[in-house]
A = this chain, B = another copy of it.
Amino acid sequence: MISLERYLELVRANLRPVEVETVDVRSARGQVLASPLIAQRSVPAFDNSAMDGFAVRHRDLQPAKDSSLPRVWLPVTGQIPAGPFNADKLPAGSAMRIMTGACIPDGADTVIAVEDTDCPPGPVPLPTKISVPTDVPLGCHIRRQGEDVKAAETLACEGSLITPALIAACLAVGVTSVQAYRKVRVFIVSTGDELQDPQAPPHPGMIPDTNAFLLSSLVQEAGAEVIGVGRSADTVQSLLAVFNQAAQPDLVITTAGVSAGAFDVVKALKTQADLHFHKVAMQPGKPQGYGSLLISGRQVPILALPGNPVSAFVSFHTVVRAALNRLSGKGSSPHPLGLELLPAQAAQSWTSPAGRTQLLPVARAHRSDAIQVSPICPGRSVSHRVASLHRADAIAVVPAEVTQVNSGDAVSIIPTI
Protein backbone atom coordinates (compact mmCIF):
# COMPACT_ATOMS: atom_id res chain seq x y z
CA MET A 1 0.00 0.00 0.00
CA ILE A 2 1.13 3.56 -0.64
CA SER A 3 -0.10 6.63 1.20
CA LEU A 4 -2.78 8.88 -0.27
CA GLU A 5 -0.31 11.78 -0.21
CA ARG A 6 2.18 9.79 -2.28
CA TYR A 7 -0.47 8.59 -4.70
CA LEU A 8 -1.67 12.16 -5.32
CA GLU A 9 1.96 13.16 -6.02
CA LEU A 10 2.24 10.36 -8.58
CA VAL A 11 -1.02 11.39 -10.23
CA ARG A 12 0.03 15.05 -10.42
CA ALA A 13 3.48 14.20 -11.75
CA ASN A 14 1.86 12.31 -14.63
CA LEU A 15 -0.05 15.40 -15.79
CA ARG A 16 0.70 18.71 -17.50
CA PRO A 17 -1.61 21.72 -17.74
CA VAL A 18 -3.74 21.94 -20.89
CA GLU A 19 -3.10 24.41 -23.72
CA VAL A 20 -3.33 28.15 -23.28
CA GLU A 21 -5.87 30.18 -25.22
CA THR A 22 -6.64 33.86 -25.63
CA VAL A 23 -10.11 34.45 -24.34
CA ASP A 24 -12.56 37.26 -23.53
CA VAL A 25 -12.30 37.40 -19.76
CA ARG A 26 -16.06 37.99 -19.48
CA SER A 27 -16.66 34.42 -20.58
CA ALA A 28 -13.67 32.85 -18.78
CA ARG A 29 -15.15 32.38 -15.31
CA GLY A 30 -13.66 29.26 -13.72
CA GLN A 31 -10.62 29.14 -16.02
CA VAL A 32 -7.14 29.92 -14.74
CA LEU A 33 -4.80 32.76 -15.80
CA ALA A 34 -1.83 31.52 -17.83
CA SER A 35 0.08 34.80 -17.52
CA PRO A 36 0.15 37.55 -14.91
CA LEU A 37 -2.54 40.23 -15.08
CA ILE A 38 -0.93 43.65 -15.61
CA ALA A 39 -3.04 46.79 -15.19
CA GLN A 40 -3.33 48.77 -18.43
CA ARG A 41 -4.97 51.71 -16.64
CA SER A 42 -5.03 53.09 -13.11
CA VAL A 43 -8.05 52.61 -10.87
CA PRO A 44 -9.58 55.06 -10.17
CA ALA A 45 -8.84 56.38 -13.67
CA PHE A 46 -9.18 59.97 -12.41
CA ASP A 47 -9.76 61.81 -9.14
CA ASN A 48 -13.47 61.47 -8.42
CA SER A 49 -16.04 62.04 -5.75
CA ALA A 50 -16.80 59.30 -3.24
CA MET A 51 -20.14 60.92 -2.34
CA ASP A 52 -23.07 62.81 -3.74
CA GLY A 53 -22.29 66.31 -2.46
CA PHE A 54 -20.52 69.59 -3.19
CA ALA A 55 -16.97 70.12 -4.40
CA VAL A 56 -15.16 73.04 -2.73
CA ARG A 57 -11.72 74.55 -2.28
CA HIS A 58 -10.64 73.73 1.26
CA ARG A 59 -8.97 77.15 1.70
CA ASP A 60 -12.33 78.87 1.00
CA LEU A 61 -13.57 77.43 4.33
CA GLN A 62 -10.58 78.69 6.30
CA PRO A 63 -11.58 82.34 7.01
CA ALA A 64 -14.92 81.25 8.53
CA LYS A 65 -13.19 78.50 10.47
CA ASP A 66 -10.61 80.99 11.75
CA SER A 67 -13.53 83.08 12.99
CA SER A 68 -14.88 80.00 14.80
CA LEU A 69 -17.90 79.84 12.51
CA PRO A 70 -19.08 76.22 12.23
CA ARG A 71 -20.63 76.77 8.79
CA VAL A 72 -20.22 79.04 5.80
CA TRP A 73 -22.36 79.95 2.75
CA LEU A 74 -20.85 79.45 -0.69
CA PRO A 75 -22.46 80.34 -4.01
CA VAL A 76 -23.15 77.29 -6.23
CA THR A 77 -21.66 77.82 -9.68
CA GLY A 78 -22.59 74.60 -11.43
CA GLN A 79 -22.93 70.87 -11.14
CA ILE A 80 -21.01 67.81 -12.32
CA PRO A 81 -22.90 64.61 -12.95
CA ALA A 82 -21.00 61.38 -13.36
CA GLY A 83 -20.29 60.93 -17.05
CA PRO A 84 -18.27 62.47 -19.88
CA PHE A 85 -15.75 65.04 -18.66
CA ASN A 86 -16.59 68.64 -19.56
CA ALA A 87 -13.40 70.46 -18.49
CA ASP A 88 -15.18 71.82 -15.44
CA LYS A 89 -13.32 74.30 -13.28
CA LEU A 90 -14.42 75.44 -9.83
CA PRO A 91 -14.40 79.26 -9.54
CA ALA A 92 -12.65 80.47 -6.39
CA GLY A 93 -14.95 81.01 -3.41
CA SER A 94 -17.74 78.83 -4.79
CA ALA A 95 -19.07 75.27 -4.65
CA MET A 96 -20.24 72.92 -7.39
CA ARG A 97 -22.74 70.10 -6.88
CA ILE A 98 -21.03 66.80 -7.70
CA MET A 99 -22.25 63.20 -7.95
CA THR A 100 -20.55 60.02 -6.77
CA GLY A 101 -17.97 58.93 -9.33
CA ALA A 102 -17.87 62.31 -11.13
CA CYS A 103 -14.54 63.97 -11.98
CA ILE A 104 -13.29 66.41 -9.38
CA PRO A 105 -13.24 69.80 -11.15
CA ASP A 106 -10.00 71.73 -11.51
CA GLY A 107 -9.46 73.82 -8.41
CA ALA A 108 -11.56 71.69 -6.06
CA ASP A 109 -9.76 69.65 -3.41
CA THR A 110 -12.51 68.59 -0.99
CA VAL A 111 -16.03 67.17 -1.21
CA ILE A 112 -18.77 67.77 1.35
CA ALA A 113 -21.52 65.13 1.43
CA VAL A 114 -24.99 66.45 0.59
CA GLU A 115 -26.21 65.18 3.97
CA ASP A 116 -23.83 67.65 5.64
CA THR A 117 -25.24 70.65 3.72
CA ASP A 118 -28.60 72.43 3.78
CA CYS A 119 -29.46 70.96 0.35
CA PRO A 120 -31.86 68.02 0.41
CA PRO A 121 -30.57 64.82 -1.17
CA GLY A 122 -32.06 63.59 -4.43
CA PRO A 123 -33.36 65.23 -7.59
CA VAL A 124 -33.91 68.78 -6.32
CA PRO A 125 -33.16 71.93 -8.36
CA LEU A 126 -29.59 73.22 -8.12
CA PRO A 127 -29.47 75.65 -5.20
CA THR A 128 -27.93 79.11 -5.80
CA LYS A 129 -25.99 78.92 -2.54
CA ILE A 130 -25.12 76.24 -0.04
CA SER A 131 -24.33 76.09 3.67
CA VAL A 132 -21.37 73.82 4.38
CA PRO A 133 -19.49 72.94 7.58
CA THR A 134 -16.06 74.55 7.97
CA ASP A 135 -14.50 71.74 9.96
CA VAL A 136 -13.87 69.21 7.21
CA PRO A 137 -10.48 67.66 6.44
CA LEU A 138 -8.63 68.65 3.26
CA GLY A 139 -9.17 66.02 0.56
CA CYS A 140 -12.28 64.61 2.20
CA HIS A 141 -14.44 62.23 0.07
CA ILE A 142 -12.04 62.30 -2.87
CA ARG A 143 -10.83 59.04 -4.42
CA ARG A 144 -7.42 59.66 -5.94
CA GLN A 145 -6.39 58.43 -9.36
CA GLY A 146 -4.49 55.16 -8.95
CA GLU A 147 -5.16 54.75 -5.23
CA ASP A 148 -6.57 51.26 -5.82
CA VAL A 149 -4.07 50.16 -8.47
CA LYS A 150 -1.65 51.99 -10.74
CA ALA A 151 -1.16 51.27 -14.44
CA ALA A 152 1.59 48.66 -15.03
CA GLU A 153 1.09 47.07 -11.60
CA THR A 154 0.71 43.29 -11.47
CA LEU A 155 -2.75 42.48 -10.18
CA ALA A 156 -2.77 38.70 -10.20
CA CYS A 157 -0.23 36.02 -10.94
CA GLU A 158 -0.27 33.10 -13.37
CA GLY A 159 -2.35 30.31 -11.87
CA SER A 160 -5.05 32.60 -10.45
CA LEU A 161 -8.61 31.37 -10.73
CA ILE A 162 -10.76 33.68 -12.85
CA THR A 163 -13.49 34.57 -10.37
CA PRO A 164 -16.28 37.13 -10.84
CA ALA A 165 -14.21 39.66 -8.89
CA LEU A 166 -11.14 38.98 -11.05
CA ILE A 167 -13.26 39.51 -14.17
CA ALA A 168 -14.33 42.89 -12.74
CA ALA A 169 -10.71 43.75 -11.91
CA CYS A 170 -9.60 42.94 -15.48
CA LEU A 171 -12.28 45.14 -17.00
CA ALA A 172 -11.53 47.95 -14.54
CA VAL A 173 -7.84 48.03 -15.53
CA GLY A 174 -8.55 47.92 -19.26
CA VAL A 175 -7.99 44.22 -19.89
CA THR A 176 -10.72 42.36 -21.75
CA SER A 177 -8.64 39.64 -23.39
CA VAL A 178 -6.52 37.28 -21.25
CA GLN A 179 -4.29 34.26 -21.65
CA ALA A 180 -5.94 31.38 -19.84
CA TYR A 181 -5.70 27.61 -19.71
CA ARG A 182 -8.64 26.34 -21.67
CA LYS A 183 -11.34 24.30 -19.96
CA VAL A 184 -10.34 20.72 -19.19
CA ARG A 185 -12.23 18.20 -21.34
CA VAL A 186 -13.17 15.00 -19.53
CA PHE A 187 -14.56 11.71 -20.82
CA ILE A 188 -16.19 9.39 -18.29
CA VAL A 189 -16.63 5.64 -18.63
CA SER A 190 -18.42 3.41 -16.16
CA THR A 191 -17.62 -0.29 -16.48
CA GLY A 192 -19.48 -3.40 -15.40
CA ASP A 193 -21.70 -6.07 -16.94
CA GLU A 194 -24.19 -5.35 -14.16
CA LEU A 195 -24.81 -1.74 -15.22
CA GLN A 196 -28.09 -0.75 -16.86
CA ASP A 197 -29.26 2.48 -18.36
CA PRO A 198 -31.04 4.18 -15.41
CA GLN A 199 -34.23 4.41 -17.47
CA ALA A 200 -34.34 0.68 -18.26
CA PRO A 201 -36.77 -1.49 -16.28
CA PRO A 202 -35.00 -3.32 -13.45
CA HIS A 203 -33.50 -6.65 -14.48
CA PRO A 204 -32.42 -9.29 -11.93
CA GLY A 205 -28.74 -8.99 -11.08
CA MET A 206 -28.45 -5.61 -12.77
CA ILE A 207 -28.24 -2.15 -11.20
CA PRO A 208 -28.77 1.34 -12.62
CA ASP A 209 -25.53 3.02 -13.71
CA THR A 210 -25.14 5.79 -11.17
CA ASN A 211 -21.36 6.33 -11.28
CA ALA A 212 -21.28 7.80 -14.78
CA PHE A 213 -23.80 10.49 -13.83
CA LEU A 214 -22.40 11.03 -10.34
CA LEU A 215 -18.97 11.68 -11.83
CA SER A 216 -20.14 13.74 -14.78
CA SER A 217 -22.06 16.09 -12.51
CA LEU A 218 -19.12 16.29 -10.09
CA VAL A 219 -16.75 17.10 -12.95
CA GLN A 220 -19.09 19.81 -14.23
CA GLU A 221 -19.48 21.23 -10.74
CA ALA A 222 -15.68 21.45 -10.55
CA GLY A 223 -15.73 23.65 -13.64
CA ALA A 224 -14.47 21.17 -16.24
CA GLU A 225 -16.26 20.18 -19.42
CA VAL A 226 -17.72 16.68 -19.78
CA ILE A 227 -17.30 15.81 -23.45
CA GLY A 228 -18.96 12.44 -23.15
CA VAL A 229 -20.18 9.66 -20.91
CA GLY A 230 -19.82 6.03 -21.90
CA ARG A 231 -20.62 2.65 -20.40
CA SER A 232 -18.61 -0.51 -21.03
CA ALA A 233 -19.17 -4.20 -20.51
CA ASP A 234 -16.45 -6.20 -18.78
CA THR A 235 -14.38 -6.93 -21.89
CA VAL A 236 -11.29 -5.10 -23.05
CA GLN A 237 -12.73 -4.95 -26.55
CA SER A 238 -15.87 -3.18 -25.30
CA LEU A 239 -13.82 -0.78 -23.19
CA LEU A 240 -11.48 0.17 -26.05
CA ALA A 241 -14.50 0.72 -28.32
CA VAL A 242 -15.99 3.12 -25.77
CA PHE A 243 -12.67 4.98 -25.37
CA ASN A 244 -12.57 5.53 -29.11
CA GLN A 245 -15.87 7.43 -28.90
CA ALA A 246 -14.06 10.16 -26.95
CA ALA A 247 -13.29 13.31 -28.97
CA GLN A 248 -9.91 14.66 -27.87
CA PRO A 249 -10.28 14.36 -24.11
CA ASP A 250 -7.67 15.75 -21.70
CA LEU A 251 -8.59 13.13 -19.16
CA VAL A 252 -10.46 9.84 -19.13
CA ILE A 253 -12.01 8.66 -15.88
CA THR A 254 -13.17 5.09 -15.47
CA THR A 255 -15.02 3.47 -12.60
CA ALA A 256 -14.78 -0.14 -11.36
CA GLY A 257 -12.73 -3.02 -12.67
CA VAL A 258 -9.59 -2.13 -10.71
CA SER A 259 -9.66 -4.51 -7.78
CA ALA A 260 -9.17 -8.23 -7.10
CA GLY A 261 -11.93 -9.62 -9.31
CA ALA A 262 -11.49 -12.25 -12.01
CA PHE A 263 -13.11 -9.97 -14.61
CA ASP A 264 -11.66 -6.57 -13.66
CA VAL A 265 -11.65 -5.02 -17.08
CA VAL A 266 -9.74 -1.79 -16.44
CA LYS A 267 -6.94 -3.69 -14.77
CA ALA A 268 -6.87 -5.98 -17.80
CA LEU A 269 -5.97 -2.95 -19.96
CA LYS A 270 -2.54 -2.98 -18.38
CA THR A 271 -1.14 -5.08 -21.20
CA GLN A 272 -2.21 -2.44 -23.74
CA ALA A 273 -1.53 0.86 -21.98
CA ASP A 274 0.85 2.55 -19.57
CA LEU A 275 -1.23 2.01 -16.45
CA HIS A 276 -0.16 1.83 -12.82
CA PHE A 277 -2.42 0.21 -10.25
CA HIS A 278 -1.90 0.79 -6.54
CA LYS A 279 -3.42 -0.15 -3.29
CA VAL A 280 -3.77 3.29 -1.73
CA ALA A 281 -3.96 3.58 2.05
CA MET A 282 -7.39 5.17 2.06
CA GLN A 283 -10.82 3.99 3.14
CA PRO A 284 -12.90 3.71 1.09
CA GLY A 285 -11.21 3.82 -2.33
CA LYS A 286 -8.19 1.55 -1.86
CA PRO A 287 -7.86 0.20 -5.43
CA GLN A 288 -6.75 3.02 -7.73
CA GLY A 289 -5.04 3.32 -11.09
CA TYR A 290 -3.52 6.07 -13.21
CA GLY A 291 -1.50 6.31 -16.40
CA SER A 292 -2.15 7.04 -20.04
CA LEU A 293 -3.60 5.30 -23.05
CA LEU A 294 -3.64 5.86 -26.78
CA ILE A 295 -6.93 7.31 -28.07
CA SER A 296 -7.09 8.32 -31.75
CA GLY A 297 -3.32 8.64 -31.89
CA ARG A 298 -2.98 10.76 -28.72
CA GLN A 299 -1.70 9.64 -25.34
CA VAL A 300 -4.48 10.61 -22.94
CA PRO A 301 -4.15 10.58 -19.14
CA ILE A 302 -6.49 8.18 -17.39
CA LEU A 303 -7.67 7.83 -13.83
CA ALA A 304 -9.16 4.46 -12.93
CA LEU A 305 -11.42 4.78 -9.89
CA PRO A 306 -13.01 1.99 -7.87
CA GLY A 307 -16.61 1.12 -8.60
CA ASN A 308 -18.39 1.40 -5.28
CA PRO A 309 -20.24 4.71 -5.58
CA VAL A 310 -19.02 6.14 -2.29
CA SER A 311 -15.47 5.06 -3.19
CA ALA A 312 -15.86 6.82 -6.53
CA PHE A 313 -17.20 9.91 -4.74
CA VAL A 314 -14.29 10.20 -2.28
CA SER A 315 -11.86 9.37 -5.10
CA PHE A 316 -13.33 12.26 -7.07
CA HIS A 317 -12.83 14.69 -4.18
CA THR A 318 -9.20 13.64 -3.68
CA VAL A 319 -7.65 12.06 -6.78
CA VAL A 320 -9.76 13.63 -9.54
CA ARG A 321 -9.71 17.06 -7.90
CA ALA A 322 -5.92 16.90 -7.65
CA ALA A 323 -5.77 15.95 -11.33
CA LEU A 324 -8.21 18.64 -12.44
CA ASN A 325 -6.32 21.27 -10.45
CA ARG A 326 -3.09 20.25 -12.20
CA LEU A 327 -4.61 20.02 -15.69
CA SER A 328 -6.45 23.33 -15.35
CA GLY A 329 -3.31 25.26 -14.35
CA LYS A 330 -4.28 25.81 -10.71
CA GLY A 331 -1.61 25.29 -8.12
CA SER A 332 -1.91 22.88 -5.20
CA SER A 333 -2.83 24.10 -1.76
CA PRO A 334 -0.18 24.03 1.00
CA HIS A 335 -2.01 21.17 2.77
CA PRO A 336 -0.04 17.86 2.63
CA LEU A 337 -2.74 16.46 0.33
CA GLY A 338 -2.46 19.53 -1.91
CA LEU A 339 -6.20 20.05 -1.49
CA GLU A 340 -8.29 22.74 0.19
CA LEU A 341 -9.41 21.42 3.57
CA LEU A 342 -11.44 23.22 6.22
CA PRO A 343 -10.99 22.87 9.97
CA ALA A 344 -13.96 21.28 11.73
CA GLN A 345 -14.89 19.48 14.92
CA ALA A 346 -16.29 15.98 15.41
CA ALA A 347 -19.83 16.15 16.85
CA GLN A 348 -19.69 12.41 17.63
CA SER A 349 -17.07 9.75 18.19
CA TRP A 350 -16.17 7.24 15.51
CA THR A 351 -13.43 4.74 14.73
CA SER A 352 -11.00 4.89 11.83
CA PRO A 353 -8.92 2.06 10.31
CA ALA A 354 -5.28 1.85 11.35
CA GLY A 355 -2.80 2.72 8.63
CA ARG A 356 -5.33 4.15 6.17
CA THR A 357 -6.56 7.70 5.63
CA GLN A 358 -10.26 7.60 6.37
CA LEU A 359 -12.49 9.58 4.00
CA LEU A 360 -15.82 9.60 5.79
CA PRO A 361 -18.95 11.23 4.39
CA VAL A 362 -20.23 13.62 7.04
CA ALA A 363 -22.97 16.21 7.49
CA ARG A 364 -21.94 19.67 8.65
CA ALA A 365 -23.63 21.95 11.18
CA HIS A 366 -22.32 25.49 11.30
CA ARG A 367 -22.01 26.69 14.90
CA SER A 368 -20.69 30.15 15.70
CA ASP A 369 -17.41 28.74 16.99
CA ALA A 370 -16.87 25.68 14.78
CA ILE A 371 -18.16 23.59 11.92
CA GLN A 372 -19.41 20.41 13.58
CA VAL A 373 -19.52 17.20 11.56
CA SER A 374 -21.34 13.90 12.05
CA PRO A 375 -20.98 10.69 10.01
CA ILE A 376 -24.03 10.15 7.78
CA CYS A 377 -24.00 6.39 8.50
CA PRO A 378 -22.48 6.01 11.97
CA GLY A 379 -20.59 2.81 12.64
CA ARG A 380 -21.47 1.13 9.35
CA SER A 381 -19.70 0.39 6.12
CA VAL A 382 -20.76 3.01 3.62
CA SER A 383 -18.96 2.38 0.34
CA HIS A 384 -22.03 0.97 -1.45
CA ARG A 385 -24.59 3.32 0.12
CA VAL A 386 -25.31 5.39 -2.95
CA ALA A 387 -28.84 6.23 -1.77
CA SER A 388 -27.59 7.78 1.49
CA LEU A 389 -24.56 9.67 0.21
CA HIS A 390 -26.57 12.79 -0.65
CA ARG A 391 -26.98 13.46 3.08
CA ALA A 392 -23.26 14.28 3.28
CA ASP A 393 -21.98 17.76 2.51
CA ALA A 394 -18.36 17.11 3.40
CA ILE A 395 -15.77 14.36 3.68
CA ALA A 396 -13.89 14.08 6.97
CA VAL A 397 -10.21 13.31 6.34
CA VAL A 398 -8.81 11.30 9.27
CA PRO A 399 -5.03 10.73 9.07
CA ALA A 400 -3.75 7.15 8.72
CA GLU A 401 -2.25 7.09 12.23
CA VAL A 402 -5.55 8.00 13.96
CA THR A 403 -7.81 5.07 14.88
CA GLN A 404 -10.31 6.84 17.11
CA VAL A 405 -11.96 10.21 16.62
CA ASN A 406 -13.63 11.50 19.76
CA SER A 407 -16.47 13.96 20.02
CA GLY A 408 -14.91 17.43 20.11
CA ASP A 409 -11.73 16.43 18.29
CA ALA A 410 -10.43 18.69 15.54
CA VAL A 411 -10.90 17.10 12.14
CA SER A 412 -10.18 18.36 8.63
CA ILE A 413 -12.94 18.24 6.05
CA ILE A 414 -13.30 18.55 2.31
CA PRO A 415 -16.56 20.43 1.64
CA THR A 416 -18.47 18.66 -1.12
CA ILE A 417 -21.31 21.16 -1.65
Contact = CB atoms under 8 A, between A and B. Distances in A.
Interface of A: 26, 29, 39, 41, 43-46, 50-52, 79, 81-86, 97, 99-103, 113-115, 121-124, 126, 143, 148-149, 155-156, 160-161, 163-169, 171-174, 176, 192-194, 198-199, 202-211, 213-215, 217-218, 220-221, 234, 259-264, 267-268, 307-309, 313, 333, 335, 340-343, 366-371, 381, 383-390, 392, 410, 412, 416-417
Given A204-B46, A218-B164, A366-B340, A83 B381 contact: no
Instruction: Give the interface SS of chain A, mostly helix, strand, loop or mixed.
Output: loop
Cβ-closest 3 pairs across A and B:
A85-B205, A83-B193, A121-B260
Given A161-B417, A384-B50, A82 B193 contact: yes
A390 to B, nearest CB: 4
Contacts of A259: 52, 100, 121
The copy count of this chain in the complex is 2
Contacts of A383: 50
Contacts of A156: 390
Contacts of A101: 192, 194, 207, 307
Contact of A29 (B221, B341, B366, B390): B221
A174 B387 CA distance: 11
Contact of A194 (B102, B166, B210, B392): B102
A221 to B, nearest CB: 6
Contact of A268 (B86, B123, B149, B370): B123
A213 B174 contact: no
A121 B263 CA distance: 10
Given A83-B205, A207-B101, A390-B163, A260 B115 contact: yes
Contacts of A166: 390
A213 B171 CA distance: 9
A335 B371 CA distance: 13
A79 B262 CA distance: 10
B205 A103 contact: yes
A387 B43 contact: yes
Nearest to A412: B368
Contacts of A385: 43, 148
A207 B261 CA distance: 64
Contact of A389 (B122, B169, B215, B309): B169
Nearest to A81: B263
B171 A209 contact: yes
Given A41-B202, A207-B45, A335-B366, A213 B26 contact: yes
Most chain B CB atoms below 10 A, which of A44, A160, A341? A44
A405 to B, nearest CB: 14
